[in-house]
Structure 1
Amino acid sequence: MPVRSTDQILHKAAWLYYTHGLRQDEVAKQLGISRASVAMYLRRARETGIVSISTSTQLFADDVLARELEDTTGLASVWIVPEDRHAMDSAAEMPVVAAAVFLELIKKGDRIGVAWGRTVYHLADVLPYADLQGVTVMQLCGNLGAPYNYRPDQCTTEIARRLNAEGINIYAPLVLGSERLADELRGEPVIREQLAAISDCQLVLYSVGGCESDSHLVRCGALTADEMHALGKAGAGGVIAGQIIDRNGRWMDCAHNRRCISADLDTIRTIPKRMMVVEEDAKFEPLVAAIKGGFVSHLVVTTSMARRLLSRWNEVTDAA
């Protein structure tokens, strides 16, 4: 069964209190909960024995890994989906866990930015119905061709429907035929206001795309395989909301990006909660670039991906 949000909070409270030596009020502030809740979680941790690693369950072992990854990378929260469960494989469990985390992060009156892709679409497909009137779900980037699955408007509309929230779509293509056309369209009042309003978001939800010849941008026709290959040779590291970032997470000054109708990446970095969900092992390097670039604060990954990330950051620390 998926990791429950209360389990994750309980283990994180115990980690901060017993391992880092934070006071209960400091733990409460960091987790955004009351001091009384912290005291309750710590009592439950003692009663169930999870504060003793020798008696910990697999869930706690994964949670220790999550806490170590948070400490090493500076991420606010990491959720790990185990890959060795018999009841459900990680590919099926990932969107269920991610949907639970997503709901947990939403507050009354929030404005939420949503990107696109298979991972986000699968999350939307399993998202429980909720009555979150007063919440607004916004599309982060322009749209793709009609035959393409997992379009930005599909993801935004479905998530808004599941939440009973207001949905705002960007009625513009993701990529224009020329930089001049892209500049002119960004200057249109409706598009300009929609893109500017993204800065008011409290939460964004997305995955990170790869730069392979079969990536989403190539399959949807935004780039040819040769163009993507050339970008890779020039240092491309991943795709955020339809835009190319380099291996250090910086916006690439390239023709594709200059022709994009998408949220300003510097604006996305300033949004308090930046939730990223990554399923595929092939997205390891793009995920590293996204973390380096400041596009992630809350992360949902598999156990193996978390171990690879921890190993990479430890190698960087040792080299320094």
Structure 2
Amino acid sequence: MAIRPAEQLIHKAAWLYYAHGLRQDQVASQLNISRASVAMYLRKARETGIVNISTSTQLFTDDVLARKLEDALSLDAVWIAPENDHIADPSTEIAVLAASVFLELVKKGDRIGVAWGRTVYMIADIMSYADLQDVTVVQLCGNLGAPYSYRPDQCTMEIARRLNAKGLNFYAPLVLSTEELARALRAEPVIREQLSGVGECDLALYSVGAVDADSHLVKCGALTSGEMAELRSRGAAGVIAGQIIDADGKVLDCSYNRRVISAELASLRAIARRLMVVQEDSKFEPLLAAIAGGLCTHLVVGARMAQRLLDHAGATTEKAS
């Protein structure tokens, strides 16, 4: 695609500054524009993806706490976002780190499974643009009718757009009105093929949902707060790709789960790299359930959550000994 004349100066400024290492005043002199214009063009180059600045996430995996947590929880890799008084919004820092980690994990030709939620959509929205070859992004569960930007189809297609990849949406509702209808829909060839292909993904990106009144399932109308409370009393501990899991990370035996159109947990576990990102400290119990169920191999969390996980693992080991 030809570069429009209006973009030529942006490209030239970015090339001189990033590729040739010229200072902003030198770029301004060479292009015969003001230094303020150079700064504006460089900002536009970053915002539109003309320039993709990536930083190594090694700093966040070299942390001693991250190493201890990997050993304690038997995870392949852990990245810990810093949390201190100088950071206005730690949850954003976690999403920024997760976006970088995700881009490092994606390989040429990968098939990527994506779930939904505010965390996943924030990662997609923050993620740098990349031009990856032969990458496919697939939706892991059915869709929602609620007008949220973090619907499953929105998360899937935004990540595909950022990666310049092929996006495959799941054209089925997340939850059906009856168990019989759900069984019939899962038996449809197109839906059956989509569900059976999830285990062939190379990488998964998701978070774990809460099982309280603030749950996405309650807010989108899939369950009432009363129904969620009842499921919690029966052992509900978290939500993965629209499915409710118990404290052991297993699918809770309930009518809701039997009405859900989503990849089976066994298919999710078959994905080699399962990147879980958790922003909220309130999701400690759901995260424990997801880890117990083998639904996470790679983890991005904040420092407070990391310490809680390590303390819990230590306490559990002491009880067992």
1:177 counterpart residue number = 177
Aligned 1:77-156 pairs, distance under 5 A: 77-84=77-84, 86=86, 89-156=89-156
Say whether 1:4 aligns with 2:56: yes
Aligned 1:20-35 pairs, distance under 5 A: none
1:241 counterpart residue number = 241
Aligned AA (1:155)? C
Cα shift at 1:89: 3.2
1:262 counterpart residue number = 262
Aligned 1:150-229 pairs, distance under 5 A: 150-229=150-229
Cα shift at 1:133: 2.3
Sequence identity (%): 62
Deviations 1:89-131 (A, max 9, x none): 3122111100000001111111000000000000000111111
TM-score in terms of structure 2 length: 0.81
Aligned AA (1:168)? L
Any gaps of 5 or more consecutive residues in structure 2? 1-53
Aligned-partner Cα distance in 1 for 2:172–2:236: 25
Deviations 1:179-215 (A, max 9, x none): 1110111111111111111111011000000100221
Determine if contact 2:60/2:81 at 8 Å carries over to the other structure.
no
Cα shift at 1:4: 3.1
Aligned-partner Cα distance in 1 for 2:170–2:303: 35
Determine if contact 1:133/1:166 at 8 Å carries over to the other structure.
no
Any gaps of 5 or more consecutive residues in structure 1? 12-62
Cα shift at 1:85: 5.8
3-state SS in 2 of match to 1:301: strand
3-state SS in 1 of match to 2:64: helix
3-state SS in 2 of match to 1:211: coil
Cα shift at 1:146: 3.8
User: What is the total number of aligned residue pairs between the two structures?
Assistant: 267
1:287 counterpart residue number = 287
Aligned-partner Cα distance in 1 for 2:60–2:278: 18
Determine if contact 1:204/1:275 at 8 Å carries over to the other structure.
yes
Determine if contact 1:3/1:81 at 8 Å carries over to the other structure.
no
Cα shift at 1:88: 5.3
Aligned-partner Cα distance in 1 for 2:277–2:161: 21
